[in-house]
Amino acid sequence: MPLPDDYVERVYAGVLGKIIGVYLGRPFEGWTYERILQELGPVQYYVHERLGKPLVVTDDDITGTFTSADDAVVTSSAIEKTDLPNLYISFPRLKSLSSTPLYRESSIQPGADGEGMVVFGFPIDQATWDKRKSATITVDLYHQGQFTTEIPKTAPTGK
Residue 9 sits at φ, ψ, to 5 deg, of: -65, -35
Q: Which of 121, 135, 48, 134 is nearest to 86 (CA)?
A: 121
What is the model's pLDDT at position 34?
A: 93
Assess whether 42 and 91 both reside in one domain: no
What is the model's pLDDT at position 38?
A: 93
8 A C-beta contact, residue 67 and residue 60: no
Residue 159 lies inside a defined structural domain of this protein: no
Assess whether 66 and 134 both reside in one domain: yes
Residue 98: CA count within 13 A, CB half-sphere: 15
pLDDT tens digits, one per residue of 41-75: 998 888 888 888 766 554 556 778 888 888 888 88
Residue 78 lies inside a defined structural domain of this protein: yes
Q: Which of 76, 80, 84 is nearest to 106 (CA)?
A: 80
- Domain encompassing residue 31: 7-51
Residue 42 lies inside a defined structural domain of this protein: yes
CA distances from 2 to 7, 13, 15, 50, 92 (A): 10, 20, 21, 47, 50
Q: Which of 108, 107, 143, 111 is nearest to 27 (CA)?
A: 143
How many domains is the chain built from?
Answer: 2
Residue 156 lies inside a defined structural domain of this protein: no
What is the model's pLDDT at position 123?
A: 80
pLDDT tens digits, one per residue of 88-142: 887 788 788 778 877 766 776 666 777 878 787 778 888 888 888 888 887 766 5
